[in-house]
């Protein structure tokens, strides 16, 4: 069964995820450190996980728990890469699907931005989400869940000359 993991420290689309999870009867883990307290949702399928404060502690928890067939919602590119390595799907809060084909470029771009910031450059990301962004996210989340739920196709190995 597909489980949804939310990197909860700075996720602006939690409510959208909750609604989709309710509709599809999916379990959701919202993982964050105590710096931004999470309010319980009252939903039986949503569990709030508070991890100790520290760099990447929430990311480590998600990466340790996530499995193939699950979906992670995160804007953290290294976490997305770790989820993909475990066979899970990864999706940004703007509806961008992280894939094996694009994660390397994203990691490289992140490294360049960090380097520029070390010289004082402003590499601030985009402004808050618009209604259109939220709509795009919901469509992408449905697509990610559907893709995660599909069993991986097994190749039929036919020996040379047939059976």
Q: Are strands 71-73 and 3-7 parallel, antiparallel or unpaired?
A: parallel
The reply to whether 107 falls in a domain is no
Please say if the pLDDT value at position 57 is more than 70. yes
At 111 the three-state DSSP class reads helix
Q: Are strands 71-73 and 89-91 parallel, antiparallel or unpaired?
A: parallel
The reply to whether 83 falls in a domain is yes
How do residues 77-125 score in pLDDT, each as one tens digit? 899 999 999 999 999 999 998 888 877 676 666 556 565 567 676 756 6
The reply to whether 56 falls in a domain is yes
The reply to whether 109 falls in a domain is no
- For the chain, the domain total comes to 1
3-state SS of 130-141 is: CHHHHHHHHHHH
Which residue segment(s) compose the domain that 141 sits in?
3-100+128-149
The reply to whether 121 falls in a domain is no
CATH of the domain at 34: 3.40.50
The reply to whether 157 falls in a domain is no
pTM here is: 0.81
Q: Are strands 89-91 and 97-98 parallel, antiparallel or unpaired?
A: antiparallel
């Amino acid at each position: 069964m597909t489980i949804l993991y939310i990197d909860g420290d700075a996720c602006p689309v939690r409510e959208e995820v909750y609604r989709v999870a309710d509709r599809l009867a999916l379990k959701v883990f919202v993982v964050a450190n105590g710096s931004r307290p999470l309010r319980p949702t009252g939903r039986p399928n949503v569990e709030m996980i508070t991890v100790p404060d520290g760099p990447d502690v929430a990311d480590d928890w998600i990466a340790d728990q996530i499995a193939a067939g699950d979906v992670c919602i995160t804007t953290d590119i290294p976490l997305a890469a770790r989820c993909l390595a475990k066979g899970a799907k990864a999706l940004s809060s703007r509806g961008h699907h992280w894939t094996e084909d694009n994660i390397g470029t994203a990691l490289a771009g992140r490294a360049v931005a960090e380097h520029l910031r070390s010289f004082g450059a402003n590499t601030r990301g985009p402004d808050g989400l618009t209604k259109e962004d939220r709509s795009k996210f919901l469509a992408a989340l449905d697509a990610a869940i559907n893709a995660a739920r599909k069993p991986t196709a097994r190749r039929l190995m036919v020996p040379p000359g047939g059976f």
